[in-house]
Amino acid sequence: MSETLMGRNDFKDFAALCFEEFGDRVKLWVTLNEPWVYSIGGYDTGRKAPGRASKYMNEAAVAGESGLEVYTVSHNLLLAHAEAVEVFRNNPKCKDGKIGIAHCPVWFEPYDSNCPDDKEACERAMEFMFGWHMDPTVYGDYPEVMKKSIGKRLPSFTAAQSKKLRGSFDFVGVNYYSAFYVKSIAEVDHNTPNWRSDARIEWRKQNKAGQTLGVRGGSEWDFLYPQGLRKFLNYAKNKYESPKFMITENGHCDIDYEKKPKLSNLMDLQRTEYHKKHLQSIQQAIQEDGVEVEGYFAWSLLDNCEWNAGYGVRYGLFYVDYKNGLKRFPKMSAMWFKEFLKREEEMGDSDEEEYLLNVATKKKRFLLATGSASCFIPKMSESSKALELFF
């Protein structure tokens, strides 16, 4: 038995144990969290565990082959996902549950809005970032643009594997944070293959006119672009025949103002605005565009260790005092969420933004319906901040 097959069977056995033990109580399941990050970071750029990459991508990498292993790893992730979903759907304890993958798309705008190549590159970027792991679960195969560009380095599915992958989700998990400009690259060095050169794109923080997409947060890749979430939901809705969506992560980071009074961290105006604007965009997608969004999870309930950034940035709705017994204090964003979730009275039409948020609260179409305010409990898995891989 090959090592990869053993790995898939191990994952299948682990999933079966979880479903058997918790399937009668846990109703929402994610098999893979951000497979794009796992594969790219671990096996193409080498900036995340296990740090495998070619030397031309990462001098610190001691082993690996960029542009090859990255696709092999994702291929096996998808096959393991399909096995787990089959077990899930055959377990009577999970009959009322739902399962899916948490993807991590960013939204892309053309670097030069007047350049057809840059516009086309945005579509190519979406295929390479989102379609890579989404298409197999819908169509049983990779996007055509990937197969054409990558060639023999991209594994293929057997007929049985394709059949098992098709329809292997009940909802599409979306970890959305930011957006970027994309510039098309005409020529690449085929002697140094990697994911980005295969996609023939460059991500840019500014467009040709020197503009950014929005206000920047505590990271160099964190921009406030809530309309990007609505645009993505419409893109995926139209391409994949109106699936159900779950916003499995959405959040804003501040740098840790360690040398400033704690009040600087508690008065998180940008985070409050971030969530407010993104919830509004989701509500517009639901009401005006017909997108089905079944849940929203903020990243994160608490400040925590954020992968490469460690404790240098803060995503939490609650401030954690690392130097004082890990005491926790609600930030302005937490207090805003508290009021948002319990709001019932209808506001005047003159304040359209607040009115939309109020309607959203009453319908609760994008909040998990558990019958109380406790439905807003941000998920406590590790956040993967995808763009750290490139900056």
pLDDT tens for 152-162 read 999 999 999 99
Give the model's confidence band at 43: pLDDT under 50 very low, under 70 low, under 90 confident, else very high: very high
CA separation, residue 341 to residues 333, 334, 352 (Å): 12, 11, 18
What confidence tier does 354 reach under pLDDT thresholds 50, 70, 90? Answer: low
Residue with tokens 């020529």: 187
- Say how many C-beta atoms besides its own lie within 10 A of residue 39's C-beta: 23
Half-sphere exposure (CA, 13 Å, Cβ side) for 172? Answer: 30
pLDDT confidence tier of residue 261, bands split at 50, 70 and 90: low
Distance CA 24, CA 36 (A): 30
Strand partners, 174: 103, 247
Q: Could you give the CA distance from residue 388 to residue 47 in angstroms, rounded to a whole number?
A: 9
User: Quick one: average pLDDT of 254-269?
Assistant: 78
- In 10 A of CB 389, how many CB atoms? 21
Give the C-alpha separation, 317 to 336, whole Å: 10
| pLDDT range class, residue 259, cuts 50, 70, 90 | low
Q: What is the pLDDT of residue 309?
A: 84
Average pLDDT, the chain: 88
Does the structure show a pLDDT above 50 at 377? no
**Closest residue by Cα to residue 233 from 243, 225, 224:** 243
In the Cβ-directed half-sphere of 232, how many Cα atoms lie within 13 Å? Answer: 34
Q: What pLDDT, in 10s, does the model give residues 88-144? A: 999 999 999 999 999 999 999 999 999 999 999 999 999 999 999 999 999 999 999
Is domain 3-389 in CATH 3.20.20.80, yes or no? yes
What pLDDT sits at residue 381? 34
Contact (CB, 8 A) for 347 and 362: no
By the 8 A CB rule, do 232 and 107 touch? yes
Q: Are strands 254-255 and 201-204 parallel, antiparallel or unpaired?
A: unpaired
Q: Please, are residues 317 and 334 in contact by the beta-carbon 8 Å criterion?
A: yes
The pLDDT, as a whole number, for residue 334 is 96
Q: How much is the average pLDDT of 260-268?
A: 80
Asked whether 228 and 234 are in contact (CB, 8 A), the reply is no
Average pLDDT, integer, range 288-301? 97
Find the DSSP H helices in the chain.
3-22, 35-43, 69-90, 116-126, 132-139, 144-150, 159-165, 195-199, 226-239, 262-266, 269-289, 332-342, 352-363
- The percentage of the chain sitting over the pLDDT mark of 90, rounded to a whole number, equals 77
Per-residue three-class SS string for 193-258: CCHHHHHCEEEECCCCCCCCCCCECCCCCCECCHHHHHHHHHHHHHHCCCCEEEEEECCCCEECCC
pLDDT at position 391 is: 38
Average pLDDT of the segment spanning 310-333: 93
Instruction: Look up residue 4 and give its amino acid.
Output: T
Q: How many residues does the chain have?
A: 391
Question: Where are the chain's structural domains?
Answer: 3-389
3-state secondary structure of 347: coil
Q: Is the pLDDT of residue 54 over 80?
A: yes
pTM metric for this prediction: 0.87
The strand pairing partners of 97, in sequence order, are none
Strands 98-103 and 28-33: parallel
- Residue 363 has what pLDDT? 43
pLDDT for res 374: 29
Q: Which residue has the tokens 């993104």?
A: 278
Q: Catalytic residue positions?
A: 34, 249
Judged against a pLDDT cut of 50, whether residue 366 lies above it is answered with no
pLDDT band at 346 (very low <50, low <70, confident <90, very high): very low
